[in-house]
Amino acid sequence: MVTNVTHPDTNATGVTDKVDTAAQIKLLHKMFPKAKKIGLLYNAAEENSVVQIKTAKKVIKSLGLTPVEKTVATTNDVQQTAAALAKQSDAMYIPTDNVCAAAMNTIGKVTESAKVPVVTADATMIKKAGVATRGISYKELGRQTAKMAVKIIKGKKVKDLAVEKPAKTELVTDAKRMKLFNIDASTLK
């Protein structure tokens, strides 16, 4: 909607829900420091996933780790591909990918069986497959967006309001998987 997020060049601004992929990969590394091969499962036809994976690979390599990529086109591909990736990975990262999101129950069953931990980009995915993430709250994004709307109502020009990143992120964990992988949430704050 805008080509310049600092100085919006159209009559649009707001709050992005783009996740902090780098922070999520660093969280994965903090929780699982012995993990050397990080699996990346995504649909290569989803641009949002491709962008997140590009960032993830860069951060994974900067940590001296090895990214292992597998792509899926439909939910029908997920079980077999996730199983193959779990055999090749010490831990996995799943971006905000629609195909993977629709198959998180399957990913959860495959990775739990293989004892391969998963960090997800989206906090809602944690319930079905993830151990933890640093996620955004859409309720908080709504509040942040409302504050921007009030500024516009009071006369601020849209072009003078930069597109904002989420003001807050939160640690979201799954107690069962935290216990399964012997992770203490208090060490992650």
pLDDT in tens, 116-169: 999 999 988 999 999 999 988 888 999 999 999 999 999 999 989 999 988 888
- Put simply, whether the predicted model's pTM sits higher than 0.85 gets the answer yes
31-40 pLDDT tens trace = 999 999 999 9
- Structural domain spans, the chain: 21-127
- Classify domain 21-127 by CATH number: 3.40.50.2300
* Residue 85: C-alpha distances to residues 14, 109, 177 (Å): 37, 13, 19
**188 pLDDT tier (thresholds 50, 70, 90):** confident
The pLDDT, as a whole number, for residue 9 is 82
Q: Would you say 166 and 17 are in contact if contact means Cβ atoms under 8 Å apart?
A: yes
Collapsing DSSP to helix, strand or coil, 74 comes out as coil
